[in-house]
Structures are given as structure tokens and as C-alpha cells.
Amino acid sequence: MTACAIEGGTAGAATTADPGPEESGEPEEPVGAVPAERGEPAGMIPGEPKRPAGTAPAEPGRPAAAVPAEPGRAAGAVPGEPGRAAGPGRPAGAAPSGGTVPAASAGFGASAGSAASAGSAAPWSGASRAPGAFTLTADGAYGARLTAAPGAPGGQRAWYPERWTLDGPEPYAVPLPLNQPEEPDAQVVPLADGRVLIRRQVAERQMFSLLYPTGPATGELALGAVECDGMELLPPSPDGTSVYALSPGDHSSLLWLVAGGAFGPELVAEVPGHCSGGVWLDRAGRMLALDRQLPGGGPVKAVAVDLERNGEVTPLLQITPESDDRLLLADADSGLLLLRSNAPGHDRLGWGVLGSCLPVRFPECLRPADVAVTPFAVQPGQMLMPESCAVALRIDGAAGSWVGIWRPQGRRLHQFAAPEGWSAGAGYWSRDGVLHLPYANASTPCGVALYEAPGDEEPPPETGGTGGTEPSEAVTPPVVCKPVPLGQAPLHRAASPD
């Protein structure tokens, strides 16, 4: 079991600081589905919420403390920020609510969840995450990253969080510096109300706070701490208010609710085995997929964790008994799953449909030579039409990183040059098929490039493809596509033809 404990510090104490400088094979097995209660068909995500997720009981002698809201600021209100703009013609920033945020004072909780399924786990990614990683809310309204003002080559950089607002007429960035720089291993996640959660590691403790702009300064609301060697924030929950963190161990992994709970950080589940990844399977923020390797070794298998059944674990992907099957992306509307598996004999990108009896497919066009391809966004709103969903992919090669767009029904990988300063792997789709890519460079400190998903010609007949594979095509150089600031772009910008 992983040794962790939570403690309250100066939880709820709101502080402010002046802002700093601004910157810029082929097996044909059905996709494993999430089994529901007995009597329900496999592949159905359990229905009605029954929320009593396992929470951590209070430590003896350490009562829970509530943090009152800032005077005159109602929870959820978003007052304006006069005088704060992020580029020519950009509106003033909006400060989120400093509403009631309880302090962390609960103790170590009991384990929850049961195992099923088997996995060579991927190493925990916390040590390799770049400081400039860009995180988006589930709806794409806000983004957050750790950035720094330009400095002398080889000199020490002063890191600070930055929040991007992306759902207005033009994108704009709001710096959120405090009195001292952040460490480059700090992690930030935006919430739907505009606040930004930050995780800091201090010795063997993980400290959590909410940051928000307060006019010309930055407000901070401490949520508490967890005593733990390593922890990674998961992608923002689709509910917009909750943030979970994973603390992996060799024999079990702990899942914590670190924002959005009633009493600060709460232990909600202990999953047997070493877990990594983290993909949401529904829009309620109830079903979470993790890639797990059971204690003692074996293949890595994606499993589903039900957060409303005390972390109940059920199998999700099992293409072959011995293959490593990891889930990369999922779309709740269509049921489309993007996965990586070595079932064909080596690691391949594949796709399937949640709960479907159709085989997993491993398209040849998704393995171009001498590059790495990773999906990062799926077009939403395609109800029951997974084959028509546009998928955005990050392509990494010797020439750098660029963008790919692919649809399961098209069987063709369209490639485009990324905007200069793109936060590689960051982006989101609108329902009408327009890809939004955030970027920042010397001339545009906060911009969003638009790419409309190209149409697909009639797919060519399969020649020689067997067992879930599809024909390949040669790698073509990316099309040079010069992005423009969102305010100057047309509503639907046509992408350059391949």
C-alpha cells in the first residue's frame, strides 16, 4: 500500500500578490466494456449516481475547518478585472469567485475497490512532464500552464501560472504570479469557474491551492496537503469543479479528490496495482479509466473505476490475455475509444467503440514511418456515430511536432504544420468540426489557430489488410498553414488541402 496521509495547514487562508511580467495485428477481439450491475448488459456505463464515494475520515484531534468566502464575493460570481488585457483588442480579464473552500483536515482513509484484469506498466509520468504543459478544461473554455518571462540564456527562469480564457470573442491570458516563483515541477489545472488549481511538492508533501486574479494581484486559497512521495493531477473532470490526483505505488495506487470536495483533499479509492494514465468515460465525472499493472507484474490493462461505488474496479480493455492495452482517449457522445496496444506484435494505435462487439481496428495510416503519433482530442457531439468523429493527433518527428487529423471512416491521415509556439498536444474540437490549437510566440502572446476538419474521399479498397488492419499511405510533409489571431479569423477557416 502506498504511504500517504493528509494534513491541514493554513487551509483557507487567502493571500494576494502583485503580478509579475507577462509572457507568452491484428487480433479481432471486441473492445472491453465497462460492466454494470448484474443483469445489465456489458458495455453499459452504470446509470444513476449514488454518490457516497469513499472519503477519508478525520484524524483524531484534527477537526475539519471551513473557509469563509471573501467578503462581498458570492460563490460562482465572476467580477471583472479592470485594466488587465492580454494583447491588442482583448477584453479585460475576469476574476472568478473566491467562494467557500473548505480546508483539508481529514485523516488517512480506508481502501476501496476490487481488482479484475491484468499488465508492463508505463512509468509514472510525473518526472517527465514539461513545465510548459498546457491543460484545458473539458469544455475548452479555460486553459492553464506554467510559464516564465524570457530570461538570459542559461539563466534561472522565474516560473508562474498563467490562465487563458478561450470562450470569448478573443483569447486572452491572465498571469497569476505570487510573491515567489514556482518550482518547474509544479502542476496547474483550470476549473470551469476560472480558478486554477496548483499542486506544489514541498519535501514529501503535496500542497494544493486555488489561484484566481483579484484586480492587479493574485489571490490564493490553500486547500491542504497530502504527505506523499509522488502524485500527478489527472485531466480535469467533465463536471468542471472536481480535480483528482493519482499517487501510484508498486502494490496499490491511491486516487484522491484534491479540489471540489467538502473537506479538502479526500481519499476516494485505493486501486490494487500500479496505475497510470487517466481518461474520463462519461460527462458526469463518474467513470474514470486507468492503465493498471497488477502486483507481481504482467501486462498492462485499462480498467474502469466507478467513483460513485467507492472506487469499484472493472475490466475495460482486454484484446489478448498477454497484450498491454492502454486507453488514450474516449468520447462520451459517440463511444469512440483510442487505444495503444502491442496485441498486433508491437505497439500500435487502434480504435474501437465502448460496449461494441466489433473488433478493435489498427489502421495502417496511423503508423507512418519514423514518427510518433499520439491522439489528443476527439470531436464531440457525434451521437452514436464514432466513425465520423474527427480525431486530432500530435505527430513528432525529426523535424519537430505537427498536427494530424483523421477519421475512422476516412482511413486517411491529413497532416498540417502547427502554429509557431503551439503547446504541443493541446487543443480541442468544436461540435461542428473546427480544431482549436492554443499557441504563444513573440508576436502573439496568446492566440488560437483554427483548423477545419477536411473532408474524406471514398476510402480505398483494402488490399492485403487482415485482422483489423487498414491500408497505409506514405507520409506527406505537413502543409504550411499560417494561423491568425482568433479575432481576425473567419468563423470556419478552410484547411489547406492535403
Amino acid at 102: P
CA 341/CA 209 separation, integer angstroms: 37
Starting at the earlier edge strand, list the strands of the sheet with 372-378.
372-378, 391-397, 400-406, 413-416
Residue 271: all three cell numbers together? 486501486
436 near 448, Cβ under 8 Å? yes
CA torsion 21-447-444-162 (nearest 10°) is 10
CA 334/CA 353 separation, integer angstroms: 8
Nearest to 376 by CA among 363, 390, 387, 388: 390
Residue 339: all three cell numbers together? 487505444
Q: Is 132 left (phi over 0), alpha (psi -120 to 50) or beta?
A: alpha
Sign of CA dihedral 75, 79, 81, 85: positive
Farthest CA pair distance, the chain: 71
Q: Provide the pLDDT for residue 67.
A: 32
Nearest to 245 by CA among 425, 338, 261: 261
Distances (CA, A) of 316 to 169, 287, 291, 310, 374: 40, 11, 10, 18, 20
Q: Please, what are the averages of pLDDT over each run of 10 residues along the chain (498 residues)?
A: 43 42 41 39 36 37 34 35 34 34 30 31 37 88 91 79 94 94 94 96 93 93 92 94 92 94 91 95 96 92 95 94 96 96 94 90 94 96 91 95 94 94 95 95 94 76 44 43 39 40
Distances (CA, A) of 34 to 80, 271, 484: 44, 16, 42
CA 226/CA 126 separation, integer angstroms: 16
44 near 287, Cβ under 8 Å? no
pTM above 0.75, yes or no: no
CA 242/CA 260 separation, integer angstroms: 4
Q: What are the E-state strand segments in 98-203?
A: 134-136, 142-148, 159-165, 172-175, 187-190, 196-202
Q: Provide the pLDDT for residue 132.
A: 64
CA 305/CA 308 separation, integer angstroms: 9
192 near 157, Cβ under 8 Å? no
Residue 152: all three cell numbers together? 538570459
Q: Provide the pLDDT for residue 60.
A: 36
* SS3 sequence of 385-432: CHHHCCEEEEEEECCEEEEEEECCCCCCEEEECCCCCECCCCCEECCC
Distances (CA, A) of 42 to 184, 314, 316, 428: 43, 11, 10, 30
Q: What backbone torsions phi and psi does residue 88 show, to the nearest 5 degrees?
A: -60, 130
CA 6/CA 247 separation, integer angstroms: 13
**3-state SS assignment for residue 127:** helix
Kindly report the CA angle at 49 between 47 and 51, in degrees rounded to 5?
150
CA 34/CA 42 separation, integer angstroms: 6
* Cα–chain center distance at 3: 25
Distances (CA, A) of 76 to 21, 73, 94, 416: 28, 9, 12, 39
Radius of gyration of the chain (CA): 23
User: 27-52 b/e with 16+ CB inside 10 Å = b?
Assistant: bebbbbbbbbeeeeeebebbeeeeee
Sign of CA dihedral 193, 195, 200, 204: negative
